[in-house]
Structure 1
Amino acid sequence: MQASKQVAPAFGQADLSNCERELIHLAGSVQPHGALLVLRESADLLVQQCSGNVARLLGLPAEALLQRPLALLGGDVAERVAALLRPPQQHQANSGHADLREAVMLQCSIGPTGRRFDGALHRLAEGGLVLELEPATTSASAETGGMELQDLTPEQMAATLSDALQRFGAAPSVGVLADAVVEVLHHLTGYDRVVVYKFDPDGHGKVIAEARHPRLESLLGHHYPASDIPQRARALYLLNRVRMLVDVNAQQAPLLPALRPETGAPLDMSLCQLRSMSPIHLQYLRNMGVTATLTASLVREGQLWGLIACHHYSPRHLRCTLRSAADLLAEVASTRISAIENYAHAQVALMVRRLEQRLVEATSTEGEWRYALFRNPRTLLQPLEATGAALFCEGEVLVSGETPSTPELRALLAWVQAQQPVPVDEPFACASVGQANPALASLTPTASGVLAVRLSTNSPDWLMWFRKEQLQSVTWAGDPSKPMVANNPLELSPRRSFAAWSEIVRGTAVPWSSTELALARGIGVALVDIIVQVQAVRLLIAEHQLVQIRGAVAGSREPVLVANAEGRVVFANEALVVLRGAPVEKGGEISGLFAAAPAVQRALAEMRRSQHGWRRELDLLGADDTLVPMAVHAEPVSGRDGQALGYVLTLLDLREARRADTARLNLESTLRLAAQHTRSEANEPDGVIAAILTNASLAAMDIADARGGPPVAPLLQELENSTRRAAGLYAQIRSSSG
């Protein structure tokens, strides 16, 4: 049966069954606290569309303003807009966004009395300009419906931002950072409730931090289904980072005319700060008792990581400088989140180093590494927040934590191998084994989620981590026995959303994040390296197993070199040959493979004397005498009589690490130059700019130290762009506040 074509409902005509497709960017109306004008990009800045509230806010009715020059409004508004349209070299230093792809703030006067307005100007992709205007009054007035505009003095703003950015930069974890974010935004904006809302890989959300008025019920730890925030809304959160709703009950002002005269199409309001919100979303807020909101996007590597959501229980209107401050803080918090999560790779390197030492020691003293791996369950489970783990190695099964039975584990292993029949480097991850394979539904209580890494290319050796069904560990935000708002499914509430989320995720574990996948990959690679080392030891002390072990070492992805007691090559695997770009001569001196041959000879002599391993950074000689920087780990191998049998050398290519170090140094040089250019007339550094640059420098170090993770050069470039954007936002704030 052929599926019928789904038609996107127009704005305001969606219900819960089709709200994912609602055209919310074509709202056709604005919130009444501000006015919107669509201008022709020409010398006269002809007004082509306007919101229906221009008479009340700007002093001219729509019929007198449409198809007339912007200068008709009086004041300096037309001059201010024209200044932003001049060639970039004439105004880029002031605006920071000369191409107007993002809204640029401006201040202007309108009318014979020179009423002050805050403005935002951006360019439409299909041509034309959108000018949004809000009264810049600081006291209750008719223009703002009797509401007082919230703002800070320049001195208060600078002090608040400087303190906040220093606090963000010092946060050691996402949890500590999120707590700092909600406390700072709660103090800065005065909203009754501020939360940080984090998305999981499936788009479901969880409140991970909260600052609230004591009279309010806590939402900390609350979960929401992905459907609460449609995909169109998520896309707009990436385009328009900060959104404010002043009054959920206010009458919206329609655009006049409804369609653009030049195109006959609705106005794309994706970047409009005044855009009306969906009636479904407004009803959702009313059901929560919320009257006003402010949301700021948390973006990591171009994806929506989460949201900062501010709720107020009466109308609330923040001036544009405060909204830009919230945007700046969200931008810097996003940078810090990226740095913290990427720094986890560096933490894994430390953990793996300790694991490697313990397993090598266990091999030399006990002849076995596998039991040492499971001696301390916390070491294996905590980094991935797993509830259980199992090792399948050489036909045996070792377990830790809460796991299924051995027959169930073997059935799970067979299924996992069937999903990845060809050896690959990427981990296998599943959050709902029972749904993916109903025959394994019995595993749900202990292993609803599985994360697995392959440890061998030629045998069924795997390390697996498990997670229980997530509903077993979820705590309700408040009393679950309290009734919901109503039985009408249109009347959404947080409690109903939690119930919907519970139904969606029943039988699933908390999904494995991209960071956890990277951690698993790092642990798997390290274990492969350890296994290769152990097998290389066996190669020297058990000649009757030579063929089997040689195959395992030769097929390793890690470059391995085995030498006899005289320091001559016994074996070099294919990975080393590929790395050199030239064959390795058997029987040749291993020192001849490195640029610093005398240093290697001295190190071998010292190992023979002390029987202790060493680690050095050396240049490997490649084809045509090219130098390949390597981290070399050498371990002596002794027989039962204590005599040296030879050495095992494992090598790590440092070229990517060197490129990362160079990128970090280049970025720090750029930051130092930026700091010099932002000094005041008294040659004193600006506190906020200094805090932004300090945060960026700390983030750069964290990112660059994350060995084993993704390439850091793009992350450092994203950090540089984010820092420039944050500095630009502050420049606008400082210009507007002055």
Structure 2
Amino acid sequence: MNIRSIVNKDNTNLLNCESEPIHIPGCIQEHGFLLGLAADSLLIRYSSENVFTYTGFTHQQLLGKPLQQLCSAEQEDLLREFLTAASFDQSQPFVFTINNVKYNTKPHISNSTVILEFEPFPDGTLDLPNLYKQTQQFVSYLNDAQDLRQLCQSIAQETRAITGYDRVMIYRFDKNYNGEVIAEAKQEELLPLLGHNYPHTDIPAQARALYLTNMLRMIVDVDYTPVPLYTIADEKEEKHLDLSLSILRSVSPIHIEYLKNMGVKATLTISLLQDNKLWGLISCHHYSQKNIPHYTRLSALLQGYFFTSQIKVRQAADEYNYAQYIEDNIRPLLELMSTGDDFIAQHYHNTLLRDCIRASGFVIVQNDTIFRNGKVPPDRQLLPLLEWLKEHAGNGQFSTDHLIAVYPPAEAMNDTAAGLIYHALDSGGKNCALWLRPEMEKSINWAGNPSKGIVMDSAGARLSPRKSFELWKEVVKHYSEEWAVPELTTAARLAGNLQKQAHLADIRREENRYKELAAKLEAANAELENFNWISAHDLKEPLRKIQLFASRTFYSEVSLDVYKDSLVKIQNAASKIQLLLDSMLSFATMSKSNEEFEKINLNNTLTQVLGKYRKEINAKEAVITTDALPQLSVLPYQAEQLFSNLISNSLKFSKEDVPLKLNISYHRGPRHHIISFSDNGIGFHNKYADIIFKIFQSLNKENQSNIGIGLAICKKIMDNHNGMISAEGQEGHGAVFSVSFPL
């Protein structure tokens, strides 16, 4: 019979330990022995070399033989019954008696092999622990613990009391599997490791995977000599034996050297799982060799189960309390959003928008307008960042506490944007909301320099794990405070509400635009009605006169005087038609101006207009006073036409034989530049204050040259400037016309 060793002899070192096949080492620790049985026949297919030490049989004598070679037929039958049960109890060991020595055996199946690990009773007893007392103790911890860290400390102390290890630590992983000691129970003389951090390289990925499979792992003595496993050299036999669930499985020599460098002699490790991921470990260290019996291990494992059951509950409770705190903060914001006002434009500066999730800065972009709140990068940094986020944010959402890792230009924004939360408010990312946090430098206490996890030995011959575990402080830069789950949830909620507000604001703007268009259409219809009235009445009346007086000239008996009088009246009627047509053309031209706005000095415009009316001013012996006028952005020709029409209006409706007094004043209101033209002319009744601005509505019908177009043109000019014109009069005592240009 050809027997071969299955020891895995792949060359493993610190440079390739990430791929070390630690689940198939082909050897075990020496505090017990191992047999592998064919699942169907229970013939011995695998045996550890040290079987002779415990049984008196060599592995050569046992391989290929039935299990009865070691035990009675009755025990073999009991094992068959145990294995064929619907689900055999993993918590209770199967007890073998060999040569009057009792062994705890925890059977499990690996592929087609039944693995039996035989351990002599370390304390010679199978007494069960007091589970009631242990559970009662745990419940008291739950009641006393104010938070998760305090519960961790209680679990560490209780686990040490149960197992007797020199040091028990609760070790929590971050998202990158760097570990931190968050609780510790130890002998007084030992140096504390509480608060120390260990890099993810200390526990390689394949080791973390095994912690998910097998929740309890024990090393009795780091100085053990690995015991090889043997099998019959048969092509049908598996090349390797998977020992993932084995308690005796030999440990990676690299990990053994790591523990020796720490001065540790024995360990017990219990996995702490959360949502099928490795949350942390209960790590027990002893500074001399140590073996604990099956039920003591089970009690320690029960502590892990107890604690694991509380991780999610405690974290959820902490998150709930924080979420309630945030909810109290954002309630006023949500109430403001429900008022229907333009929330973004009116309330973007509200500090609650950033304070509710402890952000230092907040940005919202709406229709190319950037609203800032708090500490925000300048445009030269912010605009490229927004473009990058629009392109790279999956589903319009992105968050990070380490922006520089994905966006290198963030190095220049550490004081405002080391971390951020981004939400697009539309499908194209044109509108968005952004919460920002600055860099928060922090010190991490590493157990040794993490950058020296691998060192060359003194002879320079080989690499080995680091030997120093003294406190080593690292200052971490370019990170903001990490965003908590309630903060991310609240940001998403606020973004949804801001999106609604943006849509409502757009709808309101559209409504206002339609209202403005409707008002303009109504005004245009009114103007069109006036034009129709002119066509129907004002133009027909002089045309009838032309027809009438022209017909008189066709009679031969008409005298020369009658003939001349008819021609004069025909000429006057034609002039009236020409005046009406010119006025209509002037008004239409004012409505369709292609002139561009320019910033001009209105004092110069006023001087030009007064110069144009110098003859009429002198004839009226008018006294005109004026304030200094501002520089405004206007349509230059229309501004000149406005002044011209208002001054002409005062000259035209001045009193006979009374010198005209015209005062042109200026003052700046809260929203408008206001220029007023006050005269002492004939005035008008205030009930006509609105009518006089309508086209072809004249209060003085006797003056044939006044057809009611000048003030209508003034009204049109002010509409073109988004301004206003108003009039106030008193019959016989003058009038005041005020024009208001918006600031």
Could you tell me the TM-score, scaled by structure 1's length?
0.59
One-letter amino acid of the counterpart of residue 138, structure 1: D
Q: Does 1:22 align with 2:9?
A: no
Structure number with the bigger relative contact order (C-alpha 8 A, sep ≥ 6) is 1
CA contact (8 A) 2:354 2:362 kept: no
Matched with 1:392 is: 364
Q: Does 1:111 align with 2:98?
A: yes
Residue 438 of structure 1, aligned match among 408, 411, 416: 408
CA contact (8 A) 1:28 1:267 kept: yes
Q: Determine the C-alpha separation between the residues in 2 that align with 1:267 and 1:450.
A: 49
Return closer, same or farther for 1:39/1:165 CA change in 2, 3 Å cut-off: farther
1:571-590 matches, cutoff 5 A: none
1:116 is displaced (CA, Å) by: 1.8
1:303 is displaced (CA, Å) by: 1.6
CA displacement 1:664-691 (0-9 Å, x = unmatched): xxxxxxxxxxxxxxxxxxxxxxxxxxxx
CA displacement 1:8-66 (0-9 Å, x = unmatched): x95673111100111111111111111111011235x2111111111222343222322
Q: Secondary structure at the match of 1:318?
A: coil
Q: Secondary structure at the match of 2:107?
A: strand
Matched with 1:730 is: none
Return closer, same or farther for 1:24/1:535 CA change in 2, 3 Å cut-off: closer
Residue 30 of structure 2, aligned match among 24, 27, 32: 32
One-letter amino acid of the counterpart of residue 171, structure 2: Y
Residue 67 of structure 1, aligned match among 45, 64, 67: 64
Return closer, same or farther for 1:269/1:259 CA change in 2, 3 Å cut-off: farther
Return closer, same or farther for 1:308/1:35 CA change in 2, 3 Å cut-off: same
One-letter amino acid of the counterpart of residue 43, structure 2: L
1:647-666 matches, cutoff 5 A: none
Residue 257 of structure 1, aligned match among 205, 220, 231: 231
One-letter amino acid of the counterpart of residue 432, structure 2: D
Return closer, same or farther for 1:176/1:416 CA change in 2, 3 Å cut-off: farther
CA displacement 1:69-99 (0-9 Å, x = unmatched): 22222366534422212342xxx4xx34xxx
Matched with 2:155 is: 181
Q: Determine the C-alpha separation between the residues in 2 that align with 1:176 and 1:405.
A: 44
Return closer, same or farther for 1:392/1:77 CA change in 2, 3 Å cut-off: farther
Return closer, same or farther for 1:155/1:226 CA change in 2, 3 Å cut-off: closer
CA contact (8 A) 1:104 1:121 kept: no
1:446 is displaced (CA, Å) by: 5.6
Return closer, same or farther for 1:359/1:448 CA change in 2, 3 Å cut-off: closer
CA contact (8 A) 2:454 2:463 kept: no
Q: Does 1:244 align with 2:242?
A: no
1:529 is displaced (CA, Å) by: 4.7
Q: Determine the C-alpha separation between the residues in 2 that align with 1:26 and 1:473.
A: 41
1:465-476 matches, cutoff 5 A: 465-466=436-437, 468=439, 472-476=441-445
1:532 is displaced (CA, Å) by: 5.9
One-letter amino acid of the counterpart of residue 232, structure 1: Q
CA contact (8 A) 1:352 1:526 kept: no
1:132 is displaced (CA, Å) by: 0.7
CA contact (8 A) 1:455 1:463 kept: no
Percent sequence identity over aligned pairs: 26
CA contact (8 A) 2:63 2:232 kept: no
Q: Secondary structure at the match of 2:84?
A: coil
Give ranges in structure 1 of 5+ residues lacking alignment: 1-8, 97-102, 140-150, 549-738
Residue 50 of structure 1, aligned match among 47, 52, 57: 47
One-letter amino acid of the counterpart of residue 108, structure 1: V
Residue 113 of structure 2, aligned match among 105, 122, 128: 128
CA contact (8 A) 1:35 1:134 kept: yes
Matched with 2:463 is: 490
One-letter amino acid of the counterpart of residue 404, structure 2: G
Could you tell me the TM-score, scaled by structure 2's length?
0.59
Matched with 1:99 is: none
User: How many residue pairs are counted as aligned between the two chains?
Assistant: 496
CA displacement 1:345-399 (0-9 Å, x = unmatched): 644653453234221455669974434344883x422xxxx7x443334434545
One-letter amino acid of the counterpart of residue 114, structure 2: L
Q: Determine the C-alpha separation between the residues in 2 that align with 1:478 and 1:215.
A: 18
Matched with 1:572 is: none
Matched with 1:462 is: 433
Q: Determine the C-alpha separation between the residues in 2 that align with 1:464 and 1:11.
A: 54
One-letter amino acid of the counterpart of residue 47, structure 2: C
Matched with 2:558 is: none
1:309 is displaced (CA, Å) by: 1.2
Return closer, same or farther for 1:315/1:21 CA change in 2, 3 Å cut-off: same
1:193-204 matches, cutoff 5 A: 193-204=167-178
Q: Determine the C-alpha separation between the residues in 2 that align with 1:539 and 1:18.
A: 60
1:178-327 matches, cutoff 5 A: 178-257=152-231, 262-327=236-301
Return closer, same or farther for 1:534/1:366 CA change in 2, 3 Å cut-off: closer
Q: Determine the C-alpha separation between the residues in 1 that align with 2:102 and 2:141.
A: 35
Return closer, same or farther for 1:405/1:473 CA change in 2, 3 Å cut-off: farther
1:571-720 matches, cutoff 5 A: none
Q: Determine the C-alpha separation between the residues in 2 that align with 1:77 and 1:33.
A: 23
CA displacement 1:297-348 (0-9 Å, x = unmatched): 1112212222221111111111121222222322332232123334566446
One-letter amino acid of the counterpart of residue 35, structure 2: L
Q: Does 1:416 align with 2:362?
A: no
Q: Determine the C-alpha separation between the residues in 2 that align with 1:261 and 1:106.
A: 33
1:104 is displaced (CA, Å) by: 5.8
One-letter amino acid of the counterpart of residue 399, structure 2: A
CA contact (8 A) 1:431 1:450 kept: yes
Q: Secondary structure at the match of 2:93?
A: strand
1:409 is displaced (CA, Å) by: 3.9
Q: Determine the C-alpha separation between the residues in 1 that align with 2:128 and 2:353.
A: 58
CA displacement 1:95-145 (0-9 Å, x = unmatched): 34xxxxxx56423132242x22111111112x1200111111416xxxxxx
CA contact (8 A) 1:269 1:275 kept: yes
One-letter amino acid of the counterpart of residue 430, structure 1: T
CA contact (8 A) 2:46 2:63 kept: yes
Q: Secondary structure at the match of 1:188?
A: helix
Deviates more, 1:12-21 or 1:26-35: 12-21
Q: Does 1:83 align with 2:54?
A: no
Q: Secondary structure at the match of 2:13?
A: coil
Matched with 1:526 is: 493
Q: Determine the C-alpha separation between the residues in 2 that align with 1:543 and 1:272.
A: 72
Matched with 1:600 is: none
Return closer, same or farther for 1:279/1:72 CA change in 2, 3 Å cut-off: same
